[in-house]
Structure 1
């Protein structure tokens, strides 16, 4: 079972329902203000990067807009159309 299939079915390979939460943006991209320069830098790294898989980490104190920035990049039409498959992983300590 591949990642796309897991996301579509919402289950793990064991057949158990996934307990992971789905993250969606509550903001329309046109309503998000700020982060333009940060989003542009991240998008350039993603699109003009190497052929190898890369991980881009975004970390800041809580409440400073990490999820908003990530959503802005993840849902940008340039990124959506560039990649066949995308993944967004959130971790916390």
Structure 2
């Protein structure tokens, strides 16, 4: 009971949330690598194939949807604030 009272305080909730988000991102990346990475072969029949020169599959893995979306966006985190402080009126 003393351990629960020590860790379950409102001040600790942001820590739990940030660690939870980090663990979620790691889990998502692990699942993505296991399921879609062309160099990872979990099924025994695919492992027996050896090294494959399948450049189309590698290109599809490297150029995923998030990267395609971000390529068209400006390379700024907060463009409206940057524009407000950098452009003279």
TM-score range, shorter chain: under 0.3
Higher percent of residues as helix:
2
Name the TM-score, length of structure 1 as normaliser.
0.22
- Identify which of structures 1 and 2 has the higher relative contact order when contacts are C-alpha pairs closer than 8 Å and 6+ apart: 1
TM-score by length of 2: 0.23
